[in-house]
Structure 1
Amino acid sequence: MKHKNKPITSLKRLFASLLFIALPLSGAYSQDSKKKESRNAPVFTQFSYKGNDAIYEKNPLQPNEFYSPILQGCYPDPSITHKGKDYYLVNSSFAMTPGVPIFHSTDMVNWKQIGHVLDKPSQLKVEKSGISQGIYAPDIKYNPYNDTFYMITTQIAGGMGNMMVKTKDPAKGWGDAIKLQFDGIDPSLFFDDNGKAYVVHNDAPPAGTELYNGHRVIKLWEYDLATDKVIAGTDKILVNGGTDINQKPIWIEGPHMYKKDGRYFLMCAEGGTGDWHSEVIFSSDSPTGPFVPAKNNPILTQRYFAKDRKDKVDWAGHADLVEGPGGKYYAVFLAVRPNNKDRVNTGRETFMVPVDWSGEFPVFENGLVPLKPKLKMPEGVTNQTGKNGFFPNGNFTFQDQFKTNVLDLKWIGIRGWRESFTTLTKQGLKIIPFDTNIQAAVPTSTLFYRQQHASFKAETALNYKPGSEKELAGLVCYQNEKYNYVFGVTKKGSEYYVVLERTEKGISELVSTEKIKYKKDLHLQVIAQGDDYMFNYSVDGVNYKNVGGTVSGDILSTDVAGGFTGSLIGLYATSGNDIKP
């Protein structure tokens, strides 16, 4: 059977084979770059983003409801843990910097981002990685045996491979990266109630035993908490291929182990990260197996439903379980919401469903029917999303006047650290332009915000006049360096021009250009209605003029561009512009 996900999973396999290729750091993009400030750096005086998805208009919240996904936009591969009433959730971040966003909640509904796990350059070596390399499938676990939080992940960059960081308090930062000596991807920790620790992960089958493309295994190691190393010689294959190797299941991965009522449960993703994605579960009397698959697998998937169904949620899988308030279990998992052309621009998002674990195996409530946008609120909880610092969902507005001393945690870099090219001033956000442009697979001077809706409006104002044709600043809509739109202002001779460029497969085309005159601030705007994108400008902040007509957002989708990330909206500056009006 042919699945849309095969190119994605093949890419993942290729990256996994590159785990231990060291990538040198580029000194050109160190913190020292900030000292070489251009006298002509643009100042962005404001940014706003407003979501306008019909699904939320048609499904307004009642007082006892909340929306899922709980994290909209590119927040994939969720993992969750808790210490008492404090719940912590992390996501994959690939080549984004800082790495691994971390969220905190006390009720499983209202989530507040408290930072990033990998917020130091020594922990994250993505300066020259592909955008879908870097940090894969982080797993967060609290170990009551030593009162310590662990985050274990695969970093496909800089020769890091499988690695771990730990802390006593996730709100106070994490320690140095500890490199772990085993191959494969998607590691997860399990702490037994007798104090023993284990690592489970995805790996290739033993050499010479691979039966088909996508054949993988789940492997276990004993883990020494005193030395933070796997114990040599303790590795054992727990699952070969998947739930039934005779059916040639593909890409068993993302494993998590749990213990309940004296039995051990191993839950994994299966089927690849595309439209055959699912979640399956096994049980055993011992953490070392043998593990027997449940008869009702998969326990979560969206693959069996009509492709043209309305308000489609798809690609569901890569789940993690946690016991929530009142002993009620919940699952977090990734899924996508394609736009009107069935393309995935917002990326893989974090969803949640309640779980009934009153029987032998967990039952994902509504996990085997088309997923709905709303969930019932746990008793006694008030929905505060978007208020009091809690992460918003639904159709929300994000505004930043850049008046604080630190950047909002929603802003990220790609490959490069935000601090190396941004400065918050009294006038606004100054972006110090690098001489590389957005098509470079190295750090660029671009501050990114995730696209979180199929339909949205994003706009910014910048105080800037380029000094030459090599200078440009403005907005980008970015899937990766080979698939993006650039909308900004540059100079030709003594005149200023707004330009719109489309890049597909690394080949750039000037869509439209217009000579403009303006005194101070230039206002730039992108409006998306599903697959239709429009780029507009204003010289007075009131009257906007379109450039280039309506263009397709196809190049901003993973369907066209490939990879694992969602589309990003960037505030961009460069002194290496090559767009010619």
Structure 2
Amino acid sequence: MKRMKFEFAPFRSRRAGLLCAMVVLLCFSIGFNANSQNSKKQAQNAPVFSNSVYEGNDPVYNNYPLKEGEFYNPILQGAYPDPAITRKGDDYYLVASTFAIFPGVPVFHSKDLVNWTQIGHALDRVSQLDVHDTPISAGVYAPDIEYNPNNDTFYMIVTAFAGGAGNIVVKSKDPAKGWSEPYKLKFGGIDPSMFFDDNGKAYVVHNDAPDKGQELYEGHRVIKVWEYDLAKDQVIAGTDKIIVNGGVDLAKKPIWIEAPHIYKKNGRYYLMCAEGGTGGNHSEVVFVSDSPMGPFIPAPNNPILSQRSLNPNRPNKVDWAGHADLVLGPDNKYYGVFLGIRPNEKNRVNIGRETFILPVDWSGEFPIFVNGLVPMEPKLQMPKGVVNKTGKEGFFPNGNFTFKDDFTSKKLDYRWVGLRGPREAFISSSKKGLQITPFATNIKELKPTSTLFHRQQHNTFSYTTTLDYKPASEKDLAGITLLQSEKFNYVFGLTRKGKDYYLVLERTEKGASKIIASQKIDVKKPIQLQVKAAGDAYQFSYSTNGKDFVNVGGSVSGDILSTNVAGGFTGTLIGLYATSANDALPQ
């Protein structure tokens, strides 16, 4: 994954990282004790959210209804970028990047590559992932998941720009039952993946900078390989070797060769990488060698996947395709998962980078994505014998769908996530719905926030929730937030001014906040808050009677919710937000 311009704190030592994790846990503990001992008033005053309804209505899905034997692409809508996939028997497992979202690295399971169920997260404990002070687009990048048949173990390896971690690996015998504590790996660079040869040997391959003094141009990177000691869970010192310098053709100054994966077929080793950087020049390329240590020779038909050379005004545009991984499907044919984007009518990326899939033709020497170099279609043919159950029987939905949650289930849906810290630190269930105990932290701070998030998964959508809340002062606010980052977001919440209650709509751009509108309202009963989007146009509204909605602030631009304006690697998050450090004051 190409790195944009962010300022990261340098990696701290393992000891410092563990100390930070302990401090975070201590802070949460102190917070809980303080709440229980000193804040009966705050507990009584905590906002309660209920009747959460997200509804997607993208025209492309209305215009292309599914026929028998078809399914929609992307398979994971919303910000699920940098997918990696592995197989054990008839079971497929897929992971994606999460950056500073907590818990980190969602794990999905499928039997057929069409119907997916989220079974958890690989990094679900603060001891594994310390992102408490991390910008939203730092944290964990580009995970890889691999099954090693030689020891019947799954490995998830990832780069963590947080908590002094660096490159880490966690292990599991069963991904549905959790993952080990992390093993810190002794190498730099990013985007690591693992390869297990049939002779029992193991390797790590990753993106890195060229040797010191050898960088030729901006974006010049290399791919490096190491032998890996399975007994010690560590790369073997001195075995590192550069196997690709720059990319397919160094003379053309290729940028950001990254996200490498090694595969073995017919006794030969294939290295597949992204090239061109995450963005409009993104692509996938492939090399071959007689050894996992190289030398690797590029295929003559690169790239094997890209949307970069197509008509920019094509309908139902999918773009930025790349960062791929291959797997043998249930029909004994190859498939590739990869990231792509579906921009809105202003060509802005608000949803984020999503997980797509295409069949792969590997009948010749090199694999190539079927229809991966022509405009991608919104539908695909399913592997033979598969029945489309998406959105049913617990399988992840795609296309246009409605996700309702009254928060009465004993287990919170995995689609609800936190930012920089555990959800359990601020949520609790009540007879009325989900209670959020507010932190003295607002959405613009680099700290854990008391906000429960759901990804925006469509360009055209509505989200509605019921809020039962009476703020005690202007420092108290609860409502919804649409967040691209701590510096780019909207807040639509209920606060207080004197004896009166107000809804405020605040826009934050480049860290500078502005009140777009405020509205005095009656809160004798719970109110409904709603946001609707039609491409770039977002509208925020409320209802006091459950049926008639009143708009606040007119139609506002979603520009600040796009990667194009805000930068970074995430998509828009829709949050149920509460704070006791409010600075969005009514006009």
| Structure 1 counterpart of 2:512, one-letter code | I
State the match for 2:300 in structure 1. Answer: 295
CA apart distance, 1:32: 4.2
- What stretches of structure 2 of length at least 5 have no aligned partner? 37-41
Of 3, 14, 18, the match for 1:9 = 3
Match in the other structure for 2:28: 30
Check conservation: 1:434, 1:445, Cα contact below 8 A.
yes
Equivalent of residue 508 in structure 2, options 498, 503, 511: 503
- Equivalent of 2:178 in 173, 176, 186: 173
The C-alpha deviation readout for 1:167-192, integer Å capped at 9, x for no partner, is 11111111111000000000000000
Q: Which residue of the partner structure matches residue 519 of structure 1?
A: 524
Change (3 A) 1:384 1:29: farther
Q: 1:482 aligns with which of 483, 487, 511?
A: 487
What residue number does 1:391 align with? 396
Partner residue of 1:105?
A: 110
Quote how far apart the aligned CAs of 1:29 are: 4.7
Taking the aligned partners of 1:138 and 1:112, their CA distance within structure 2 comes to 18
Whether the 8 Å CA contact 1:283–1:292 is kept in 2: the answer is yes
For the 8 Å contact 1:32–1:420, the answer to whether it is kept is no
Residues 346-377 of structure 1, C-alpha deviations (whole Å, 9 max, x = no match): 00000000011111011200110011110001
Write the distance in 2 (CA, Å) between the matches of 1:11 and 1:366. Answer: 33
User: 2:161 and 2:460 mapped to 1: Cα distance?
Assistant: 33
State the secondary structure of the residue aligned to 2:564: helix
CA distance in 1, matches of 2:584, 2:292: 58
Q: 1:34–1:432: 8 Å Cα contact kept in structure 2?
A: no
CA deviation profile, 1:39-90 (whole Å, cap 9, x unmatched): 2100112211000101101100001100010000000000000100000000
Distance 2:78 2:10 in 1: 27
Q: Output one character per residue of 1:381-429: Cα deviation in whole Å (capped at 9) or x when no partner.
A: 1100000110000000000000111211000001011000000122110
In the other structure, the counterpart of 2:418 is 413
More off after superposition, 551-560 vs 28-37: 28-37
For 1:425, the aligned partner's letter is S
Q: Please state how far the C-alpha of 1:567 moved relative to its aligned partner.
A: 0.3
SS in structure 2 at match of 1:163: strand
Partner residue, 1:461: 466
* Distance verdict in 2 for CA 1:31–1:320, change over 3 Å: farther
Measure, in 1, the Cα distance between the counterparts of 2:574 and 2:313: 28
Establish whether residue 45 from structure 1 lines up as the match of residue 50 from structure 2. yes
Measured at CA, do residues 114 and 158 of structure 1 come closer, stay the same or move farther in structure 2, by a change above 3 Å? same
Question: Does structure 1 conserve the Cα–Cα contact (< 8 Å) formed by 2:195 and 2:262?
Answer: yes
- Secondary structure of the 1:30 match is helix
Q: 2:559 corresponds to which letter in structure 1?
A: D
Note the alpha carbon deviations across 1:451-494, whole angstroms, 9 max, x for none: 00001000100111101111010000000111000001101110
Does the residue aligned with 2:326 lie in a helix, a strand or coil? strand
> Does residue 334 of structure 2 align to residue 329 of structure 1?
yes
Q: Percent identity?
A: 64
Letter in 2 for 1:226: A
| Change over 3 Å in CA distance of 1:216–1:317 after alignment to 2 | same
Q: Does 2:233 correspond to 1:239?
A: no
Residue matched to 1:541: 546
- Alignment partners' CA distance in 2, 1:421 and 1:63: 44
Q: Which amino acid aligns with 2:129?
A: L
Find the counterpart in structure 2 of residue 227 from structure 1: 232
Question: What is residue 476 of structure 2 aligned with on the other side?
Answer: 471
Please give the per-residue CA displacement for 1:286-343, whole angstroms capped at 9, x wherever unaligned: 1111100000000000100122222111100000000011211100000001001100
1:260-288 CA distance string (max 9 Å, x none): 00000000000000100000000001111
Q: Is the 8 A contact 1:336 1:348 kept in 2?
A: yes
Cα displacement string for residues 528-551 of structure 1 (whole angstroms, at most 9, x for unaligned residues): 000000000001111100000000
* Partner residue of 1:73 out of 74, 78, 101: 78
The answer (yes or no) to whether the contact 1:43–1:431 under 8 Å persists in 2 is yes
Offset of 1:18 from its aligned partner? 3.6
Residue in 2 that maps onto 1:153 = 158
On the 8 A contact 1:33/1:421 being kept in 2, the answer is no
2:453 maps to 448
The CA distance in 2 between the partners of 1:180 and 1:302, in whole Å, is: 35
For 2:297 and 2:180, locate their aligned partners in 1 and report how far apart those are by CA, in whole Å. 37
Matches within 5 A, 1:75-474: 75-474=80-479
2:286 maps to a residue whose letter is: I
Aligned residue type for 1:375: L
Query: Kindly tell me: are residues 429 and 373 of structure 1, through their superposed partners in 2, closer, same or farther at Cα, counting changes over 3 Å?
Result: same
Distance, in Å, in 2 between the alignment partners of 1:223 and 1:482 is: 40
Q: Secondary structure at the match of 1:408?
A: coil
TM-score, normalisation: structure 1: 0.97
Q: State the 1:161 CA deviation.
A: 0.1
Displacement after TM superposition at 1:19 (Å): 4.1
In 1, Cα distance between equivalents of 2:12 and 2:244: 25
Q: Deviations over 1:147-176 (max 9, x none)?
A: 000000000101000000001111111111
User: Per-residue deviation at 1:11?
Assistant: 2.6
Equivalenced residue count is 573
Measured in 2, the distance between the counterparts of 1:178 and 1:196 equals 19
SS at structure 1 position matched to 2:331: helix
Instruction: Confirm or deny: 8 A CA contact 2:428 2:434 kept in the other structure.
Output: yes
Separation in structure 1 between the aligned mates of residue 253 and residue 552 of structure 2, nearest angstrom: 50
Q: TM-score, normalised by structure 2?
A: 0.96
Q: Is the 8 A contact 2:83 2:97 kept in 1?
A: yes
Structure 2: which amino acid aligns with 1:60? P
Q: Distance in 2 between matches of 1:328 and 1:18?
A: 44
* Preserved CA contact (<8 Å) 2:484 2:561: yes
Are the aligned partners of 1:167 and 1:173 in contact in 2 as well (CA < 8 Å)? Answer: yes
Q: Secondary structure in 1 aligned to 2:237?
A: coil
Cα distance in 2, alignment partners of residues 83 and 547 from structure 1:
52
- Contact kept, 8 Å, 2:4 with 2:568, in 1: the verdict is no
Equivalence for 1:556: 561
CA distance in 2, matches of 1:146, 1:156: 29
Q: 1:467 to 1:10 in 2, by over 3 A?
A: closer
Structure 2 counterpart of 1:11, which letter?
K
Change (3 A) 1:324 1:19: farther
What one-letter code is carried by the residue in structure 2 that aligns with 1:486?
Answer: V
Maintained 8 Å contact 2:358/2:372: yes
- After TM superposition, which residue ranges in structure 1, 4 or more long, deviate above 2 angstroms? 8-12, 17-29, 31-35
CA distance in 1, matches of 2:531, 2:176: 35
Compute the displacement of 1:9 (Å). 3.3
Q: Match of 2:115, SS?
A: coil
Separation in structure 2 between the aligned mates of residue 158 and residue 333 of structure 1, nearest angstrom = 28
Aligned Cα RMSD in Å?
1.3
Deviation at 1:31, TM superposition (A): 4.4
- The 2-side partners of 1:63 and 1:463 are apart by 44
What SS does structure 1 have at the residue aligned with 2:446?
A: coil
Report if the CA contact (8 A) 1:31-1:419 is conserved: no
